[in-house]
Amino acid sequence: VSRLSDSPCEYLQVLEHAILPHVPTLTPVDLRYISMAWTQARVSTEKLREAYAARTIDMIDELDPATISHITWAHSKLQVSNVDLFKALGVRCAASISSFNPSRLGCIASAFVDAGVHDEVPLISIARQALRYLGQMHPIPASHLARAFIQ
């Protein structure tokens, strides 16, 4: 999407028409790449976002920490508020928090807070895991973590 032209909006209707039938076949990696492309292009269509969110929720148990982090971050940057999607991402994040590396903890905490998600489920799990890594964290993710919990 982001590489089609300087004005990807011109192509969104055509892309939506071409992509919608394939949404049920998207893999976790596809979901990650699409969310990152939307962030770069800063555009998407509502119908495609809804289908994408439904597919993400359907596959939530298959998402790895990197994919959870990327999808959460992308949707927070796009200011997409899909309560069901963020709730599912939060529950999956909490369930797989021990698999997150220290650098992702600050980014995902910041993404949830930036998206307006102040739910205890992901944030308490992130805080507990971060305490285990605090001495090992790079300053940038640590600052994201601190900012998320200050807000």
* Each residue's pLDDT tens digit, 25-58: 999 999 898 888 777 766 667 788 888 899 999 9
User: CA separation (Å) from 42 to 45, 85, 114, 140?
Assistant: 11, 19, 16, 24
Q: Give the three-class secondary structure for 151.
A: coil
- Average pLDDT, whole number, for the chain? 84
Residue 9 class from Cβ within 10 Å (0-12 exposed, 13-18 middle, 19+ buried)? Answer: middle
Question: Looking at this protein, which amino acid is placed at residue 35?
Answer: S
HEC assignment per residue over 37-74: HHHHHCCCCHHHHHHHHHHHHHCHHHCCHHHHHHHHHH
136 has a pLDDT exceeding 90: no
For the whole prediction, is pTM greater than 0.85?
no
Query: Regarding predicted confidence, which is higher, 90 or 81?
Result: 90
5 has a pLDDT exceeding 70: no
Distance of CA 129 to the CA centre of its chain: 19
